[in-house]
Homo-oligomer: A and B are copies of this chain.
Amino acid sequence: MQNPWKTLSSRIAYENPWIRVREDRVLRPDGQPGLYGVIELRPSVAIVALNEHEQVALVGQWRYPLDRYTWEIPRGASRDGESDILQAARRELREETGIEARTWRSLGAIDLCNGVMRSTEHLFLATDLTLLDAQPDPEEDLLLRWVSFDEAFRMVMENELREASSAAAILKTRSLLS
C-alpha cells in the first residue's frame, strides 16, 4: 500500500521531555491541503508480572491528566538511547515495583491513538519473580498491590481497570495461558 498523503513541510509546535507535537502541512488523500498535528512519544513498555501464586502486580497512582486514581500494570516510557526495549521493561519493572523477573515473554506491541499519535507500547509477560526494593522516580507516588490473575481479568472486563495497555496485556495473557 502506498502512502496517499504528501508532506509539504513540518515544524515542532510543542515539545517537553515526554511529548513532542509536530505540525505538518500536508496534501490529503483527496489532494486538498491541510494541517496534520502528530504527537510523538518515546516507545514505552507495560509488564504483566505474574508470581508463583498466579498473582499480578498492579501499581496504583494518581493520574494527573485524568484527574483520577488508577490501578494499572507497571508501565513506563523508554529512555533516550535505550534501544533494547526488553531492557527498558526490566528497568521499569525494577524501578517501579522492585521486581526482577528471570523469564520474559513478549506479548507484542500496541499502537495508541494512531490517528493523531506515534506511540507504541511493548507488552511483556514476566514470570519467575524476585522482590527487591522499588526505586520510583521522584514525581511518582506509587502503591504496589498483588491481585489474583482472575481478579485482574475481572477488573478489566468490568471496566475497573481501563488503562489501554494494561487491559490489552492482561487479556492477551489470559488467552495465552487458558
Contacts and interface: CB of A to CB of B under 8 A. Distances in A.
Contact of A21 (B5, B21, B30, B140): B21
A3 B67 contact: yes
Contact of A66 (B62, B118, B139): B118
A116 B65 contact: yes
Q: In terms of DSSP, what is the predominant structure of the interface of chain A?
A: mixed
A37 interface: yes
A178 B123 CA distance: 24
Interface string A11-22: 001101011010
A130 interface: no
A163 B114 contact: yes
A29 B116 contact: no
A41 B159 CA distance: 20
A110 B5 contact: no
Interface stretch (A79-87, A92-100, A168-176): A168-176
Contact of A140 (B29, B63, B118): B29
Interface in A44-90: 60, 62-67, 69-70, 72, 75, 77
A39 to B, nearest CB: 6
Given A5-B62, A62-B5, A138-B28, A113 B108 contact: no
Interface in A137-178: 138-141, 153, 156-159, 162-165, 167-168, 171-172, 174-176
